[in-house]
Structure 1
Amino acid sequence: MAEQNEKLHIVVFPWLAFGHMGPFFELAKLIAQKGHKISFVSTPRNIHRLPKVPENLQPLVDLIQLPLPRVDKLPENAEATVDIPHHLIPHLKQAFDGLQQPLTMFLERCKPHWIIYDFAPHWLPPICSQLGISCIFFSIFSASALYYFLLDHYTSKARVSAQNKGFPDEHYETNESGVSDVFRVLETTNSAQASAIRTCMEIEAASLKLLESIYSKPMIPVGLLPPSLEFSEDSNDENWDTILKWLDKQEKGSVVYVAFGSEVRLSDEDFTEITKGIEMSGFPFFWVLKKQNTSNVELQDLVVNNSGTGLVWRTWAPQMRILAHKSVGGFLTHCGWSSVNESLLVGCPLVMLPFQNDQFIVAKLMEEKRVGFQVQRSEHDEKFSRESLANALKAVMLEKTYKSEAKEMSKIVGDKELHQKYIDDFVEYMEIHKPVLKD
């Protein structure tokens, strides 16, 4: 019994992107709630940008800061993908690889039972093997996306299929960091004792079974890590007060919420087609338009539609609170897995405009579930038009099917007991299979 109750020490090491750090942080807190010690490792600036650790978990969650090595071409204070343009990301990976030595020294010192890592540290598994630390690869992507990404390396004809799903050539090519993204994923997944996936059987049972069919190690769904709907942390936020006043003036279910995450950068053409498409649809909109989302087109070029009102928001906005507001009837999204889950948590249907990588796979999955409508792209050049965007907006905002199916899906995404059971099973796996630590 004493051995069963032994508390684990688990190191959590995400890639330097907030779309990755967020789910890793949520997973870390959920494991800590089970009484296990967590060391969350990232760079100083990223650690300071994380939400506060809840007071009751502070004794169990240590935030470990490892300074990011300097690399030519990376701007000063650039410690995450949000800090740099897309073409500099390989240099960020190069800097990330420079964390090998300080992380090794930390692991030698603290001797954890497990390390839960992301796709990027291809150099980490041999170090863990030498130190007797067990590894788990954590996929922040859906099971469907991970399956299509790995499929290329298990069947000879899959490369074309995977690329058609939105994975560009750049993932297969060696970049300035010295290796390819595919190499990183293969090294981290193949060397892990198990893979944890941010999904659940209720939504992705078929994809999980397909993954298990090509992968010889445990594939453990950890649930969707849905955020809290209590909104305690930002209840006094001035941004929210301003947004709330605007939303309260709009009719129920009439507003399109528009946001494309922190990674998508719109071309001039895409920006123009989106603005004109929203205008053509006639719906009021709330658009979170951060600098990194936009091209060289001036903001003044955004036309407020004639039949309603529009609000463009240039700084951080509380996405969950906006999606949950009664005036919001649809979410125009790039289909990042986190954004999709946040929208479905509150039963808000999706207008899906994917741009890259797993976003196309998530859009296809959600289209099959009838919780959203994908903006049609031309087969000739894969571009979308203002007309196709306006049609998608009208379909989701006016047809009741998408709203009702999204409401049904919210019962799964918002089922706290269901997702807690996935966490319980995952933690139990780590407890049962914990390594015997070396002296």
Structure 2
Amino acid sequence: MEETTTKTKTKKSDETTPLHVAMFPWLAVGHFIPFLRLATLLARRGHKVSFLSTPGNLSRLPKIPPPLSSLITLVPLPFPETPAAAALPPLAQSSSDVPNRHQQLLKPAFDALLPALRSFLRSSRPDWILYDYASHWLPALAAELRLPRAFLSLFAAAVLSFFGPPAGLASGGRFQSGGDGGGGDLTAVPPWAPAGSGLAFRPHEVARVAERSEARVETAHDTVRFGVSIGESDAVAVRTCEEFEPEWLGLLRELYGGKPVLPVGLLPPMDDEDESDDVESKERWEFMRSWLDGQAAGSVVYVAFGTEVTLTRAELAELALGLDRSGLPFFWVLRRSPGSDRDDGLEGLPSGFLERVKGRGFVHSGWAPQVKILRHESTGGFLTHCGYNSIVEGLSFGRVLITFPVMNDQGINARLLLAKGVAVEVPRDEMDGSFTGDSVAGSVRLAMVDEAGEPARAAAREMKGVFGSKEINDGYVDEFVRYLEEHRKPKFMMN
């Protein structure tokens, strides 16, 4: 009886004690953002979060709201010096600092963070660790330390479904059979997915992924990283919800053979996101807002391609031509190509373009407060590379999407958006990805003003009720927290 009473007391204590969750994202700005959003949501519920990354990456994070600063601890892990890292640009610590063809050079440095991470986990003993796709060695480390671990997928359930069962990925599977960069099965709907779903990459999208093989470095293949990270997790948390892609969540649960698959909601932008105390940033935004204030409601198409995508000079020229010919107001954010001698990203624009669109077009180089721009009432559409962060942010404000996928999961995301009816696609050659200014202009006008585009505009507005719903998304986070609380191990079992 005495032993039973002790166990009961221990369980009750665990249920009432706030969680301590460690978070370890991949070295990419697009991954830090949703990890930090979830960290903030956990902290707002009274739980403690240790957010681990390299010093250079932690310095880029948005400011943590003062009321939560005691609950979210940024834990710096020194960026390792490896032979591959020596070939990176100076001070490069994230994927946005490195050209696509050299992305794999970051992987050995990331893997070399294991000893520092082990030291932290051993001393701090968090209740859970949430980790990203690249740290395939982390589940074994967590098992060694008897720590519960969950793979946090920043990819839609449709993307994970396309990849298939973890065991096939971990063994190399079908995705490495086309190692010549030809694409293989990547350009076909997988046999476990509905044949009419269109869930497949196009050849030009696969070719951009194959560019990474130019960086000759001994490191685990990304599919292996995915397979082991998922397969050896205690649970898989997915950034999605039943209201958006119930069919793909259902398939994912079948493919994962009973492993817990937990939607955590869409992690939409928060009200205080993109706030900055920096005087220069505030002044820059005031200038942007002044221009946006001068445009009609819903008339502006916002154009941005994230932190990693770089376009060729020919692509920039056709895109500029299309925006010019559309006749519509636009706000275009350009980023500098890693390794470029110029820091404004404007070198690829056609001669005379800026003069021709003056007043109607706003072209900005460098970082811009995307959430604020999308939230502004003059913004009506979003010409996007279909990175998942951008999709979530665009649909959170009901903006119709114009898809221009380039690399990574973006092609599958674009197919998903078209199937959901919330987007218009820029037509491109499936083999080489080429397109014309006229195709851009036509797609922009279809999405923004043509009568034939009204169903997509209406569907995007309706989707705001899911992506932008605090009630819906908070409900998923609450359910996820309950799972973490119910499945944490008593501290005496972790010693």
Shared fold, TM over 0.5: yes
Task: Report the 3-state secondary structure (helix = DSSP H, G, I; strand = E; otherwise coil) of the residue aligned with 1:201.
Answer: coil
The number of residues matched between the two structures is 439
- Residue from 56, 68, 75 that aligns with 1:45: 56
Residue number among 26, 31, 42 corresponding to 2:42 in the alignment: 31
User: In the alignment, which of 221, 231, 240 is matched to residue 199 of structure 1?
Assistant: 240
* CA deviation vs aligned residue, 1:385-438 (integer Å, no higher than 9, x gap): 222111110101113332222111101111111111100111111111112442
Contact 2:274 2:371 survives alignment (8 Å): no
CA distance in 1, matches of 2:494, 2:431: 59
Find out whether 1:323 has 2:374 as its counterpart: yes
In structure 2, the residue matched to 1:287 is 332
1:249 Cα deviation after fit: 1.9
Residue of structure 1 aligned with 2:385, choices 306, 327, 334: 334
Cα distance in 2 for partners of 1:251, 1:281 equals 16
Bigger-Rg structure (1/2): 2
CA contact (8 A) 1:268 1:296 kept: no
Structure 2 letter corresponding to 1:59: S
- Of residues 66-75 and 134-143 in structure 1, the stretch that sits farther from structure 2 once superposed is 66-75
In structure 1, how many angstroms separate the alpha carbons of the residues matched to 2:238 and 2:274?
28
Contact 1:125 1:192 in 2 (8 A): yes
Counterpart of 1:415 (choices 466, 469, 476) is 469
1:208 corresponds to: 249
Q: Secondary structure at the match of 1:63?
A: strand
Conserved 8 A contact 1:172-1:181? no
Residue type of the partner of 1:205?
Answer: P
**Structure 1 residues without counterparts, runs of 5 or longer:** none
Aligned to 2:289: 244
Quote how far apart the aligned CAs of 1:55 are.
Answer: 1.8
1:25-424 to structure 2, matched below 5 A, reads: 25-70=36-81, 71-150=85-164, 153=168, 159-161=186-188, 164=201, 166-167=205-206, 170=210, 176-216=217-257, 217-230=259-272, 233-234=275-276, 237-292=282-337, 297-299=347-349, 301=351, 303-304=353-354, 305=356, 309-379=360-430, 381-398=432-449, 399-424=453-478
Give the Cα separation in 1 of the matches to 2:417 and 2:325.
Answer: 25
Alignment RMSD: 2.5
- SS of residue matched to 1:225: coil
Q: Distance in 1 between matches of 2:304 and 2:60?
A: 20
Supply the AA of the counterpart residue of 2:121.
Answer: L
The Cα of 1:12 is off from its aligned counterpart by 0.2
Shift of 1:215: 0.7
Deviation, structure 1 residue 225: 0.5
For the structure 1 residues 365 and 126, does the alpha-carbon distance in structure 2 shift closer, same or farther, using more than 3 Å as the test? same
- Please say if residues 313 and 349 of structure 2, whose CA atoms lie closer than 8 Å, have aligned partners that are also in contact: no
CA distance in 1 between counterparts of 2:25 and 2:186 reads 27
- The CA deviation at 1:177 is 4.3
CA contact (8 A) 1:13 1:116 kept: yes
Identity of aligned residues (%): 39
Gaps in structure 2 of 5+ consecutive residues = 1-11, 175-183, 190-199
Q: Report the Cα distance in structure 2 between the residues aligned to 1:68 and 1:413, rounded to whole angstroms.
A: 35
- What TM-score comes out, normalization by structure 1 length? 0.93
Kept after mapping to 2: 8 A contact 1:396/1:402: yes
> Could you tell me how far apart the structure 1 residues matched to 2:426 and 2:441 are?
9
User: Secondary structure at the residue paired with 2:429?
Assistant: coil
Paired AA for residue 494 in structure 2: K
CA contact (8 A) 1:7 1:37 kept: yes
Tell me the alpha carbon deviations over residues 308-360 of structure 1, each in whole angstroms, 9 at most, x when there is no partner.
62121012211111112222221111111111111111111111111122211
